[in-house]
Amino acid sequence: MSLKDAFNAYTKGADEMDGRTFTKILRDCKILDSKVTGVDADLIFTKVKAKGAKKITFAEFEEALRLVAAKKGVEVEALHAKLAEEGTQGPILTGTKADNVRFHDDKSTYTGVHKMGGPTTVDDGRVQFNDLSKICDRSEYDVRGVKKGIIENKTGDSK
């Protein structure tokens, strides 16, 4: 169990670590407290990363731990040992189960159109246009380039 193992466990084998993961490893190993807060961890991360970079390498991670140890007032080796011991299992993941939402999940409380199952497209005769084929004129063009459907609608006779 080493510091490199803890680094790899939190980065899932990647060579670099982002700021969120850096704060997460410090929080999971109970290093963050009143002396070193999450804001301090973010500031230390920003201080050690290269300009323009979004992630830190393992060497920069070790430098960040030196700064955390100085801020906390403990030995660097003690901090390394704590991270190596508690951080090798990987991140501590927690989640919550969503409760039922009364008005969303209980269909007996539905109102309006959705009470009967939602809107339908079986409104034939009740509305003017209930189908795309009644809106679009797909009749043929005649020799002059005029649609036959337009002539039928104007004159009433089909040609």
pLDDT at 88: 76
pLDDT at 17: 93
Q: Which pair of structure tokens corresponds to residue 42?
A: 């973010």
pLDDT at 151: 62
pLDDT at 146: 80
Q: What are phi and psi of 56, to 5 degrees?
A: -115, 150
Condensed to tens digits (0 to 9), the pLDDT of residues 77-119 reads: 999 899 888 877 878 877 777 777 766 767 777 777 767 666 6
Q: Which pair of structure tokens corresponds to residue 121?
A: 């497209």
Q: What are phi and psi of 138, to 5 degrees?
A: -110, 25
Which residue ranges form the domains of the chain, and what is each CATH number?
3-86 (1.10.238.10), 130-159 (no CATH)
Q: What does the pLDDT profile of the chain (159 residues) look like in tens digits? A: 688 888 999 899 899 999 999 999 999 989 999 999 999 999 999 999 999 999 999 999 999 999 999 999 999 999 989 988 887 787 887 777 777 776 676 777 777 776 766 666 565 566 666 667 667 777 788 888 887 766 666 665 655
Helix spans in 29-110 (H): 38-48, 58-72, 76-86, 102-105
Q: Which residues pair with 18 in a beta bridge?
A: 55
pLDDT at 89: 80
